[in-house]
A and B are shown apart, each in its own frame.
Chain A
Amino acid sequence: DAKTTQPTSMDCAEGRAANLPCNHSTISGNEYVYWYRQIHSQGPQYIIHGLKNNETNEMASLIITEDRKSSTLILPHATLRDTAVYYCIVIVYNAGGTSYGKLTFGQGTILTVHP
């Protein structure tokens, strides 16, 4: 699976958009970009994933560059409860399931939302 690079930490004001970047320059054609977050002492929470198109759900938007070498997770209106460690993970989605399910977590980005 491709390696990802994320900033160690970021700050955001409450109510503003939080834009979390992720670099995955070695991503291959069959690898998806997944985002999880982990609030202190809780299990990781799935946020969103995508292959090459931009994606949006009730939690966030995912913008993937045309060359797929980087992406940005956008929390449109950050709240204090969004303070967490955000992990960007790239994995192969194998329909046979033989490689899917093994997530390789890096250090992630510590997002702190300020009042």
Chain B
Amino acid sequence: DAGVTQSPTHLIKTRGQQVTLRCSPKSGHDTVSWYQQALGQGPQFIFQYYEEEERQRGNFPDRFSGHQFPNYSSELNVNALLLGDSALYLCASSLEQGNTIYFGEGSWLTVV
């Protein structure tokens, strides 16, 4: 049973560019959340998707957007990249009626 998988593992982008990160939830999970973790900090909640809609959102600007597909996989898009967007981006999945959240290994984004 595959856990939460994310791609790509590492990537480097230039300021002003756009990036798309991808996540496949754990088998059977229908809810996907995204987190940003800057170096030396704990993960910060970006948003959560359920039934292809954004259900909750943390304190992140509109440059951060997402999407959930009918197969529950999800994408995180960040536009107009800033140097401060350099971080580990984590995807987490759960069952809407469940009580445990599982994380992927993350995508390391470096903005230069």
Contacts and interface: CB of A to CB of B under 8 A. Distances in A.
Interface in B16-67: 31, 33, 35, 41-45, 48, 50, 55-56, 58
B111 to A, nearest CB: 18
B72 interface: no
A93 to B, nearest CB: 6
A49 B100 contact: yes
A99 B99 CA distance: 11
Interface residues of A, number: 24
Task: Tell me the interface secondary structure of chain A in the complex.
Answer: loop
Contacts of A93: 99
Contacts of A106: 42
A95 B97 contact: yes
A103 B43 contact: yes
Contacts of A102: 33, 45, 48, 56, 58
A98 B97 CA distance: 10
A41 B103 CA distance: 13
B94 A100 contact: yes
A43 B43 CA distance: 10
B8 to A, nearest CB: 15
A97 B97 contact: yes
Given A43-B104, A46-B100, A49-B100, A101 B56 contact: yes
A87 B42 contact: yes
7 contacts: A98-B56, A100-B99, A101-B31, A101-B48, A105-B44, A107-B42, A108-B42
